[in-house]
Amino acid sequence: MKISFVLNGQNTSMEIEPNIRLLDLLRDKFNLTGTKEGCSIGECGACTVIMNGKAVNSCLVLAGQCDGAEIITIEGIEKDGKLHPLQENFLKSGAVQCGFCTPGMIMSAYALLLENPNPIEEEIKDAIAGNLCRCTGYKQIIDAVEKSTKEVVR
Amino acid sequence: MNKRNFNIVGKPVIRRDGCAKVTGKAKYADDFRFEGELYGVMVRTNSSHAIIKKIDYSEIADNPSVKLIIDANDIPGKKKVGPIKQDQPVFCNERIVTPGDVIAMLVGEKESELRQLAKRIRIELEELPLLENPRNALDKDAILIHPEFKTNLITHYPLRKGNIEKGFNQSDEIIEQTYTTQLVEHAYIEPECVTAIPGEGNLKIKIIGSIQNPFTTRKVVASVLDCGLNKVEIIQAELGGSFGGKDDIMNILSARAAIAALKSNRPIKIKYNREESIIESYKRHPYILNYKIGFKRDGKIKAIKIDLLADGGAYSSMSPFVTWRSVVQATGPYEIKNVHTDVRVVYTNNPYTGAMRGFGSPQPIFAIESMMDEIALRVGKTPFEIRKINGFKQGSVTASGQKLSGHEVTLNKVLKKAVDVSSFSSKWVENKKSVEKNEAPTQSYVKNSLILHKDDFINPDKLWRKGIGLALSYRGCSLGAEGIDAAASYVSIQPDGTVYLLSGLAENGQGLKTTYSIVAAEVLGISADKIIYLEQNTSRIPDSGPTVASRATLMGGGATKNACEELKKRLGKLLVNEWRLKSPNELHFANGTVTYNGKKKKISFDELIKKAYTQGVNLSAIGWYAGPKVHWEEETGHGSAYFTYVYGCQVAEVSVNIGTGEVYINNIWAVHDPGKVINILGAEGQVYGGTTQGAGYGLWEKISTHEGKIRENNFDQFLIPTSKDIDAIDPYFIEGKDKYGAWGGKSLGEPTLELTAAAIANAITNATGQRFFNLPINIEELLLRKKLYPESLKRGSIL
C-alpha cells in the first residue's frame, strides 16, 4: 500500500507492506535508528515518537495508520544545527547513561511540552511513566525536563 | 596525597558520548547494517530437562527461506563454554537442562519466516525428572543436571574463625532466622544483539555487538572457532545497559553468529526480542539464607553461624565468583570473633544465574541487616546504636582475618552522616511508638441497612503508616582473589595537542569514557573536550579483564593516570632542558598551559606538544595498573580477600498502606564512600540508578518459574521501577582516603544497589511492626505472606 506523511518536517510518500509497524518503517526504510526497540509490546517506551502532536509507541502503530500523519522522531528535533533544549539539558543534568531509553524519553518529554509548556514535577513523572530506564533512576531526567520548560520556545 | 586542588576532577563534565546519545546518532548493535547480512533465529524445545534423541530438520531443510541450519555439528572447536567451568553447550545436542537451551540456529533473510519455521523442526526427546528446588539438589537421590560432574554442587566455600560453640555459649541471647531472595532479571532496556562478519586478510572473524566484556567474548569465540585470539576482533557497539548481564549470553551469541558467518561467508545478525532475552539470559541468584547470631545484652555480637544456599540454575557461569563474594561479606561490616559460614551453590533445571550488579552481596545484606535490626529490638537499642557497637573501625579484622588498614575505614562516618541527614533515630523511635499503640482500623458492618454511611468506610488516609530503615555495608573493590586484576589505558597526544584515549575496560553506559577523560585532562592540564575516546576494539588495546566488580574507575582510572603521568614526565624533561631547570618538580600543568614556579615561565600545552613532536618525543603511552597481591585459603576461608574496600549506608523512608499492601518510597538517603569522586554527574547517576534498581529488587521485581519455565517474560509482568515509584533520592559522598586508583577513586556502581532492599525491608518493619523474610516485599507478601503467581504460562504477547 502507498502512504503519504510528513516525517520530521519533510513530505514523504512510500509504498509499504501493510503489516509493518511504524517502528520498522522508521528504522528499516528511513534508517532513522535513533528510535529503539526494547520490548515490542508498548511497555518500555524506547520506540516513542510524536504522531500528530502526541507521544506514541511506534511498535504499536502500523505504518499504514500513518497515512496523512505528521511524525517527529529524535532525529527531527534539532533546529538549525542546534540541540533542542531538552537534548541540551539531558546532557547538562547527567540524564543519560547507557542512552538506549534516551530518544524515547526525550520524545515523551517533547510531547508533554507541546501540550503543557509549564508542567509541575508530577506531570513530568506522568509523561515519562511509560518510558522505562534501568540506569538513571529518572531523577536527572526529571531535572532535565524541568530545566527545559523555561527554555522551550514554541 | 589527596590534598591538591583539582581543576576538573569532581566537577560536572558532560558525557563524552552524550551528544550522540541525545540526538539518536549513537550506534547500538542493532543500528549497524551490513551488505548481504542474514539473520539467525534460535530453535528451542518445550522441555526443561530431557535427553535429545533425534533432531529431524527434514520438514524445513528444503525450504528456500532457510539458507543454513547450524547446530553442534558445525562447531570447529570447543562445544561447551563457560567462564570458570566449561559446562554450557553453544548448541545442545545431548541434553536439555533448562528451557532457554538452544538446539540449533536457522539462518536466512527473513527473521519472521524463520521464527515460524523453527517450530516445524521435529525434536525427539526423552523427558527427565525435574530438579526445581535447590534445597533438594544435594539429596542422595537427586537427579544430576550434569552427570559428568557426579554432583549438583557447583562450589562450596567454608569460612571458619574462632570457636563458634564458645561464642554461642558466651551469648546472652541467640536469634536464628531464614530469609529468601528471588530470581531477578537485569532488564537492560536494549535486548541482546550481535553481528559477525567474515574477516578480511588474516582476520578470521569480526564481531560487533552489545557486548559487556569484549575480551571475554574474544576468548570464547576463539575457543569455539579453534583459532588464535588475534584472529578474532571484537568491537563493542554502544551498549544499551548491561548491569553484569551482557557477558556469558553475548559470548555464546557471538560464537553462534561467528560459526554461521564463516559457514555462509556472509554477515550474520542475531537480535533477540524481549521474551527470548528473558528466557535465555542469566539472572541474579536466588538465595536461601540461614543466620544464627549470638549476642550479649549490651548488643555486642559474639558468634554468627551462616548457611547460604544459592540456586545456580542449569549452568555454573559466574556462580563460583558470585558466591565467593558472599562468603567474604556475609557477616556484614561487623567485627565478630567467632564466625562459621558455609556458602553453597548448586545446579537445578531453573534459568541459570550469574553476574548481576551486586554480585552475591544484595542477598546476604538483606539477611544480616534484617538481623541487626532484630538484635536492636531485643536489646532495646536503635538500629544506629547496634551498628555502631559492632561496626568495623580502622584496623578491625574481617571474618576472613583481614586487617582493614592501608585505607580509611569510613564505616562510622557514612553511618553517622546517613543517620544525621535523615533524622533517622528520632523518626525510628516515633514510628515504633505509634505502631505499638495504634491498632489497625477495622470496619463494622453491624448495620441492618445495606446503605453504608460515611463513617462505615475506612478512611484511606488512615491506612498509611510511615517507616524508616537503614542498611550498612562494606564491599571489596574490584575482583579480589577471584582473578587476575590489571588494566591498560592508551593515551596518544597528537601534534596539535588534541588527544586520543582508549582503555581496555569497556563502557557499559555508566560513563567510564568520561571518567577516564577527566583523569587524563586533569593530569595533562587540558580540557576534557580535547580528548576523543576511541572505538572499543580488542585489536587496539591490551586485554584488561572484564568491566565488572565496580573496578572500572579504580583500575582503568589508575591506568589512565599512569599513562598521562608518563607523558607528563617526558614533557617535563623537555622543559627542564629548554628552560634550564634543576628539576621538573615545580612545573604545573593546568588550563591548557604549563607554568614554572608560579608563572615565571610559561608555555601553552599546544605549543609544548608542537615542540615535543618536532624533537621526536614519544607522545603516546600505554599505562598499566595492576592490583596488589591478594590471597584466599579455600579450606578455611582465610585471607586478604580484596586489596581495598568501600563503605556505604542507606536510609529509606517509606509509607506502607496496611489495607492494600502498597509501599511507597518517600525518600532514600544514600551515603557512600567511593574514595575520591572523579566524575560527579556520573557518581550521582550511579546512586540514583543503583538505589532505584535496589528498590525494585526489594519491592517488585521477581522472575518466577513453573517447571523451570519463566512466567514473567516481558515488562508487562516483570515490573521494574518507573518514574512514579520513588520520590526523593539524596546522594552524599564521603571521600575516604586511599592510595589506590587515580587519587584514591574506587568503587560505587554496586554499593549503591546492594543496600536499598535491606533498608526498605527495615523501614517496612518500622512501619508495621512486622518482619518480612522473603524478597520481594510486594503487596501479596505484605498482606498474605506468600507470593501469588499467574495461573497459566500462556499469554498474549508471546510468539
Tell me the DSSP string of B461-503. Answer: GGGEEEEEEEEEEEEE-SSGGGS--EEEEEEEE-TTS-EEEEE
pLDDT of residue B449: 65
Cβ <8 Å between A96 and B684: no
Question: H helices within B183-225, ranges in order?
Answer: 214-225
Q: Does B685 touch chain A (CB under 8 A)?
A: yes
Q: How far apart are CA B787 and CA B771, in angstroms?
A: 16
Of the candidates B218, B223, B281, the residue with the CA atom closest to the CA atom of residue B248: B281
B720–A96: do the CB atoms touch at under 8 Å? no
The set of cell numbers assigned to B642 is 580484596
User: Which of B341, B321, B344, B343 minimizes the C-alpha distance to B331?
Assistant: B341
The position carrying cell 520556545 is A153
Beta strands B50-56 and B95-96 are antiparallel
Dihedral of CA atoms B762, B768, B773, B774 in degrees, nearest 10, equals -100
Distance from CA of B789 to the nearest CA of A (A): 20
* A20 contact B CB<8A: no
Mutation site, A89, A90, A98, A124, interface B, largest B CB count within 10 A = A98
B560: Cβ contacts below 8 Å, ≥ 6 apart: B489, B491, B501, B503, B516, B519, B520, B623, B742
User: B-contacting residues of A 93-132, CB under 8 Å?
Assistant: 93-94, 96-103, 106, 124-126, 128-132
CB B709 within 8 A of CB B549: no
Residue type, B343: V
Interface probe with B: pick from A60, A77, A96, most Cβ of B within 10 Å: A96
Asked if B188 lies within 8 A of A101 by C-beta distance, the reply is: no
The answer to whether the CB of B730 falls within 8 A of the CB of B667 is: yes
Tell me the pairing of strands B663-673 and B726-733: parallel
Residue B276 grid coordinates: 527470548
Interface of A with B in 30-69 (CB under 8 A): 31-41, 43-44, 46
**Alpha-carbon distances, residue B437 vs B271, B282, B426, B734 (angstroms):** 57, 46, 17, 38
Contacts of B684 in chain A (CB under 8 A): 94, 140
Contact A74 B33 (CB under 8 A): no
Q: Are B723 and A101 within 8 A, CB to CB?
A: no
- Name the residue of chain B whose CA is nearest to A33's CA: B31
Query: Which has the closest alpha carbon to B684: B4, B16, B10?
Result: B10
Residue B206, amino acid: K
For chain A, 154 residues long, give each residue's pLDDT as a single digit of tens: 999 999 999 999 999 999 999 999 999 999 999 999 999 999 999 999 999 999 999 999 999 999 999 999 999 999 999 999 999 999 999 999 999 999 999 999 999 999 999 999 999 999 999 999 999 999 999 999 999 998 875 5
The greatest distance separating any two alpha carbons of chain B, rounded to the nearest whole angstrom, comes to 105
Dihedral sign computed on CA atoms, order B56, B61, B67, B73: positive
Decide if A72 touches B, using CB distance below 8 A.
no
Tell me how close the Cα of A122 comes to any Cα of chain B, in angstroms: 8
The Cα diameter of chain A in Å comes to 44
Residues 94-153 (B) with a CB less than 8 A from some CB of A: none
Contacts of A129 in chain B (CB under 8 A): 722-724
Closest residue in chain A to residue B273, using alpha carbons only: A39
Per DSSP, B391 falls in state B
Contact B239, B536 (CB under 8 A): no
Q: Using a CB-CB distance cutoff of 8 angstroms, which residues of chain B are in contact with residue A126? A: 724
User: Hey, what's the cell of B301?
Assistant: 555480637
pLDDT at site B798:
45
Query: Would the CB atoms of A140 and B682 count as touching at under 8 Å?
Result: no
Residue B442's contacts (CB-CB under 8 Å, 6 or more residues apart) are: none
At B186 the pLDDT is 98
How many contiguous H segments (helices) and E segments (strands) does chain A have? Answer: 5, 5
> What are the residues whose beta carbons fall under 8 Å from the beta carbon of B522, sequence distance 6 or more?
B6, B7, B8, B9
Residues 287-316 on B with a CB inside 8 Å of A are none
Task: Specify the DSSP class assigned to residue B184.
Answer: B
Q: In the sheet where B95-96 sits, what is the strand order?
A: B95-96, B50-56, B122-127
Structure letter (DSSP) for residue B229: G
Hey, is the C-beta of A79 within 8 angstroms of any chain B C-beta? Answer: no
Q: Of B220, B218, B219, give the one whose Cα is nearest residue B207.
A: B218
Q: Mark yes or no for CB contact B714/A43 under 8 Å.
A: yes
By the CB < 8 Å criterion, does B401 face chain A?
no
Q: Which residues 654-683 of B have a C-beta within 8 angstroms of A?
A: 681-682
| Packing angle of the helix pair B383-390, B362-379 (nearest 10 deg) | 110
Decide: B313 and B181 in contact? Cβ < 8 Å.
Answer: no
Please tell me if residue B410 touches chain A, with a CB cutoff of 8 Å: no
Written as one letter, the residue type at B563 is: A
Q: Which of B281, B322, B235 is nearest to B98 (CA)?
A: B281
Q: Sort strands B645-657 and B709-710 into parallel, antiparallel or unpaired.
A: unpaired
B239 touching A, CB under 8 A?
Answer: yes
Give the Cα separation of A100 and A94 in Å (integer): 14
A92–B14 C-beta distance less than 8 A: yes
Residues of chain B numbered 259-278 and touching chain A (CB < 8 Å)? 273-274
Nearest CA in chain B to A39: B274
Residue type at B535? E
Where are the extended beta strands (E) located within A35-136?
A: 48-51, 54-57, 70-72
Nearest to A134 among B188, B687, B716 (CB): B188
For β-strands B531-533 and B499-503, DSSP reports them as: parallel
Q: A7, A8, A39: best mutation site toward chain B, by most B Cβ within 10 Å?
A: A39
Restricting to B residues 500-529, those with a Cβ less than 8 Å away from any Cβ of A are 508-511
Q: Which residues of A touch B552 (CB under 8 A)?
A: none
**Closest Cβ opposite residue B15 in set A35, A96, A141:** A96
Looking at beta carbons, which residues of chain A come within 8 Å of B37?
none
Residue of A nearest to B695 (CA): A137
Task: Indicate yes or no: CB of B685 within 8 angstroms of CB of A136.
Answer: yes
CB pairs under 8 A between A and B: 173
Rounded Cα distance, A114 and B539, in Å: 47
> What does the alpha-carbon distance between residue B679 and residue B10 come to, in Å, rounded to a whole number?
5
3-state helix, strand, coil in chain B (%, to 5): 30, 25, 45
> In the prediction, which pLDDT does B142 show?
98
How far apart are the C-alpha atoms of B710 and B101, rounded to whole Å? 13
In whole angstroms, give the CA distance from residue B364 to residue B380.
24
Query: Helices B362-379 and B756-768 sit at what angle, rounded to 10 degrees?
Result: 30
| pLDDT value of position A149 | 92
Query: Look-up: residue for cell 540541540?
Result: A83
Contact A44 B511 (CB under 8 A): no
CA dist B537 and B561 (Å) reads 21
Closest to B601 measured CA to CA, from B578, B621, B629: B578
Chain A residues lying within 8 Å of B691, measured CB to CB: 137
Q: Is B750 touching A (CB cutoff 8 A)? A: no
Q: Which residues contact A133 (CB under 8 A, 6 or more apart)?
A: A101, A105, A141, B189, B723
Do A94 and B15 count as a contact with CB atoms less than 8 A apart?
yes
Q: What is the pLDDT of residue B600?
A: 84
Chain A residues with CB-CB distance to B29 below 8 A: none
| 3-state SS, one letter per residue, for B704-718 | CEECCEECCCCCCCC
Contact list, B243 vs chain A (CB under 8 Å)? 134
Return phi, psi of residue B211, to 5°.
-110, 125
Classify B275 as helix, strand or coil.
helix
* Residue B799: predicted pLDDT: 41
Give me the residues of chain B with pLDDT under 50, please: 1-2, 797-799
Rounded to 5°, the CA angle A9-A34-B248 comes to 170
CB contact, 8 Å: B453 with chain A?
Answer: no
The pLDDT value recorded for residue B2 is 45
- Looking at beta carbons, which residues of chain A come within 8 Å of B509? 97-100, 135
